[in-house]
Amino acid sequence: MTDDRNAFSRRHVLGILGAGAAVAGCRRGWTPPASDPTGRALAKPDVPGAELYSTGEERWFVSSCGQCPAACGIRVRVVEGRAVRIEGQPDNPLNRGGIGPRGLAALQGLYDPDRITGPLARRGGVLVPIGWDEALAELAAALATLRARGEPERLLVWCGQERGVARDLLLRLARAYGTPNFIDGRAGRSGVLAGAMALTAGVAEVPVYRWEQAGAVLSLEAGLVEDSCQSVYFTRMAAHRKRDRGARLIHLGPMLDLCAYNADEWIRVHPGTSGAVALGIARLLLDAGSLPADRVDGAGPFRDFVAGFTPERVAAASGVSPRALERLATALWDERPAFAVVDERSVACSNGLDTALAAMALNAVFGAFWVEGGGVTAAPAVPLRDWPEIDLDELARAGLARPRLDGAERFPGSGSVHEALPDAILAHPPAIALLHHANPLFARQQPSRWRRAFRAIPQVVSFSPYRDETVDEVADLVLPDHTFLERWEIAVPAPALDRAILGVRVPVVAPVHDTRATGDVVLDLAARLGGAVADALPWRSFRAASEERVEVTTDLYRDGFWSPGAPPAAPPLRVALHARYAEPTWYGDPAAYPLRLIAYRPLGYAEGSGGNLPWLRTLRPRPGAHPWMFAARVHPSSAPGHSDGELVVIESEWGRIRAPLQLDESIDPGCIAVPMGAGHTAFGRFAKGFGANVLELVRPGPAPDTGADLLCATRVRIAKGRAS
């Protein structure tokens, strides 16, 4: 299109109209101009900055999604400097062109009207804007003072991510500074899965599954397509499995969720008892055959142990009838290659590790480990080179030798124990806390407990781009990060495939606000601190630090991902079976609190970090759901005297919330299912005040054996009336 043609284009005229609208006072949002009742129907948005463009310039950027740990490949359409569309990247082996609802809604996160627009500092109890230089100088001075006092361990660094270069950079900062108190996202239940793999196969990585050639898959209460870290990949697998006659999926679970809906057969079980079903199946199969002794350790004790899992015992524990159990065992054996799948939802009860170990034991019975067609393997190592070893100074060595606040040493493999922190913080408050991708005042059990704990920390620093509960209530300094559409980053996807994959994120638009990538901020802080800390983080930018760890190729930028072609060679392997299983524990007096609480991450929302994306509130992930719905689901027989839609109080020994009731015959009687992600008291206009936070009900404290969170271990009751 030539400039002459542009001079009188429709776009140009509309731009002028738009400018008029801006003058008329539309800066606080936009409504189509009302002055022209006919023309307004065709009005295009008044976009700040659009006057810089005269060609309707359009570009597509290849990048990786950052809305959840899956890191799907995406293409972003940018018109006149604005990101207006996200689509899946067809070549990416994770998502093959598809994309989930949460990834699509990333634009609402980018352009969230309540984003933090620049650094903030709390002055007189109120957060006020300050400049970047002042903010960084203030924090660097505080960090330098703390270190000079010889108390580097009183720095708490919390990164909500489990993996990725930003997480590694924060860990490096913590080590070079000299604090052992680095908390990461592994305390979530994926640590339990990795623990089960370590005990069974000797590889401390989460299991990944080869779906394509499997004949049958048994899901032990897994979330898969609804709330797993790789829901888009599993959605693709589910479609392939169903239509292309891939593996037959049998799902054990307490309620109709998207995994149950997409299974070929859904068998309702009591929550936390699918491990008993797996052991019952293992018993039946072992009765008919034997384990390959050359590859399995502990076969004898395991066989003796599962002999106790008779169909009658399994039926009493789980609700699965002996006949159904036998049919299940036969079907799975006949349709081999078969395997049992567990994910984070599977291990939400107190016996999470036992459930994961039962799945792995059943996989050993199936001979599914490291089998090419349809088996289980460990997530491959991330193909990132290590940075040079840190040259620790005396202060850092002394600090790192001190015990961790969360006592993670007691739980090998857990990495961090979130639930031990509030009490530990109150007992020995850190002087400074850095929070990246963490909003403990909302997303952890008993938020009031976390509020008390963080108020005891003199300087809380958040890198959140959004004004979440932690920022709003306790942050003393806010150094807002870019969103993933504004920053450069190497993405390390949550494991799904049996081959390693890396993604790249590129800035597709100029930063909407005065924000900075946290990686760059960390490097800036290190430089200001000087000495050994600066030496450990010498890079001029986060991008330079990241590029030192990868083979930078044109492919990486052209395709947005990089993956070695062939799967890694199978390691020489013996698997160890563990003779252990415990029934799930439900805390609370069963007489006073008769219902078992299932707190679950609903489609698209995770633990609440999607609350500012109103598009997601329009999803209907189950029958009876409608837009902007928040409800507690309970079987009618478990709520006598209550009616559908009634507003009730749900109480546990630890808290109470108010929620509408949805009577649902699909849910296991004796249970009540409440979605997470609602009940924000901050986090912007779309999140605040909608629904209630189920975590108010959940018993605090870590799982006694693994240190993981216990989302499903609390007894509750429902009552009419309003919460006081």
Partner 1 sequence: MKSERGPSRRDVLCASAAGVALAAAPTAAHATRERPRRWGMVIDLDRCTACGACQIACREENNIAPTGPDAAHAGRQIEWMSIRWQEPEQPGGQPTAMPFPCQHCAEAPCVKACPVGATYKSPNGITMQIWERCIGCRYCMVACPYGRRSFNWDEPHWDGTLVQLLNPDVATRPKGVVEKCTFCHHRIRRAEEEASIAGRAVTDQDVRRLPACAAACPASAITFGDLDDPDSEVSELSRSPRAFRLLEHLGTDPSVVYLKRDRRS
Window 76-135: residues binding partner 1 (CB under 8 A): 78-88, 95-101, 104-105, 107-108, 110-115
Is residue 46 close enough to count as binding partner 1 by CB under 8 A? Answer: yes
- Residues contacting partner 1: total by CB under 8 A: 95
Residue number with CB closer to partner 1 (411 or 466): 466
Position among 239, 544, 579, 723 found at the interface with partner 1 (CB under 8 A): 239
Residue number with CB closer to partner 1 (44 or 549): 44
d(Cα 381, Cα 72) in Å, to the nearest integer? 18
Residue number with CB closer to partner 1 (398 or 619): 619
Question: To the nearest whole angstrom, how small is the minimum distance from the Cβ of residue 99 to partner 1?
Answer: 5
Of 626-655, which residues contact partner 1 (CB under 8 A)?
A: 626-628
Position among 429, 624, 636, 669 found at the interface with partner 1 (CB under 8 A): 624
d(Cα 161, Cα 163) in Å, to the nearest integer? 6
Binding region for partner 1 (CB under 8 A) out of 127-135, 409-417, 460-468, 508-516: 508-516
Residue number with CB closer to partner 1 (177 or 686): 686
Which of 683, 672, 689 shows the shortest CA–CA distance to 608? 683
Question: To the nearest whole angstrom, how small is the minimum distance from the Cβ of residue 59 to partner 1?
Answer: 5
> Could you tell me the end-to-end alpha-carbon distance of the chain, in angstroms, rounded to an integer?
66
CB 375 within 8 A of CB 337: yes
Alpha-carbon distances, residue 377 vs 168, 211, 252, 255, 504 (angstroms)? 25, 11, 22, 28, 25
Of 534-573, which residues contact partner 1 (CB under 8 A)?
A: none
Question: To the nearest whole angstrom, how small is the minimum distance from the Cβ of residue 465 to partner 1?
Answer: 12
Residue number with CB closer to partner 1 (57 or 212): 57
What would the 3-class secondary structure string for 136-186 be?
HHHHHHHHHHHHHCCCHHHEEEEECCCCCHHHHHHHHHHHHHCCCCEECHH
Residue number with CB closer to partner 1 (240 or 295): 240
Question: To the nearest whole angstrom, how small is the minimum distance from the Cβ of residue 167 to partner 1?
Answer: 24
d(Cα 250, Cα 267) in Å, to the nearest integer? 7
Residue number with CB closer to partner 1 (242 or 313): 242
Secondary structure element (H or E) that encloses residue 327, with its range: helix 322-334
Binding region for partner 1 (CB under 8 A) out of 224-232, 362-370, 399-407, 668-676: 224-232
CB 477 within 8 A of CB 120: yes
Per residue in 94-120, is it b (16+ CB within 10 Å) or e — as a string? Answer: bbbebbbbbbbbbbbbbebeebbebbb
CB 181 within 8 A of CB 157: yes
Is the C-alpha dihedral spanning 112, 113, 119, 123 positive or negative?
negative
d(Cα 193, Cα 702) in Å, to the nearest integer? 16
CA angle, 462 then 467 then 468, to 5°: 80
Q: How many CA atoms lie within 13 A of 470 on its CB side?
A: 30
Residue number with CB closer to partner 1 (57 or 334): 57
Chain centroid, CA 397 distance in Å = 33
CB 266 within 8 A of CB 576: no
Residue number with CB closer to partner 1 (234 or 463): 234
Of 26-45, which residues contact partner 1 (CB under 8 A)?
A: 28-32, 34, 38-45
Of 574-603, which residues contact partner 1 (CB under 8 A)?
A: 603
Position among 235, 273, 350, 351 found at the interface with partner 1 (CB under 8 A): 235
Question: To the nearest whole angstrom, how small is the minimum distance from the Cβ of residue 74 to partner 1?
Answer: 11
Of 246-275, which residues contact partner 1 (CB under 8 A)?
A: 248, 256, 258, 261-262, 264, 266
Of 48-77, which residues contact partner 1 (CB under 8 A)?
A: 48, 52-53, 55-59
Which of 382, 385, 465, 491 shows the shortest CA–CA distance to 63? 491
Query: Residue 77, Cβ neighbours under 10 Å: how many?
Result: 15
Please tell me what DSSP assigns to residue 64. E
Residue number with CB closer to partner 1 (9 or 310): 9
Of 668-687, which residues contact partner 1 (CB under 8 A)?
A: 685
CB 215 within 8 A of CB 223: no
Of 393-422, which residues contact partner 1 (CB under 8 A)?
A: none
Alpha-carbon distances, residue 402 vs 283, 390, 395, 671 (angstroms)? 47, 18, 11, 43
CB 202 within 8 A of CB 177: no
Residue number with CB closer to partner 1 (203 or 332): 332
CB 70 within 8 A of CB 233: yes
d(Cα 357, Cα 344) in Å, to the nearest integer? 13
Question: To the nearest whole angstrom, how small is the minimum distance from the Cβ of residue 384 to partner 1?
Answer: 24
Question: To the nearest whole angstrom, how small is the minimum distance from the Cβ of residue 242 to partner 1?
Answer: 5
Binding region for partner 1 (CB under 8 A) out of 162-170, 228-236, 555-563, 701-709: 228-236
Question: To the nearest whole angstrom, how small is the minimum distance from the Cβ of residue 234 to partner 1?
Answer: 9
Residue number with CB closer to partner 1 (237 or 291): 237
Residue number with CB closer to partner 1 (42 or 307): 42
Binding region for partner 1 (CB under 8 A) out of 382-390, 429-437, 473-481, 621-629: 621-629
Contact track, partner 1, 684-723, x by CB under 8 A: -x----x---------------------------------
Residue number with CB closer to partner 1 (56 or 308): 56
Question: To the nearest whole angstrom, how small is the minimum distance from the Cβ of residue 221 to partner 1?
Answer: 18
Secondary structure element (H or E) that encloses residue 363, with its range: helix 352-366
d(Cα 36, Cα 20) in Å, to the nearest integer? 12
Question: To the nearest whole angstrom, how small is the minimum distance from the Cβ of residue 483 to partner 1?
Answer: 12
User: Residue 429: CB partners within 8 Å, gap ≥ 6?
Assistant: 154, 456, 457, 458
Position among 118, 507, 531, 568 found at the interface with partner 1 (CB under 8 A): 507
Residue number with CB closer to partner 1 (513 or 574): 513
CB 21 within 8 A of CB 33: yes
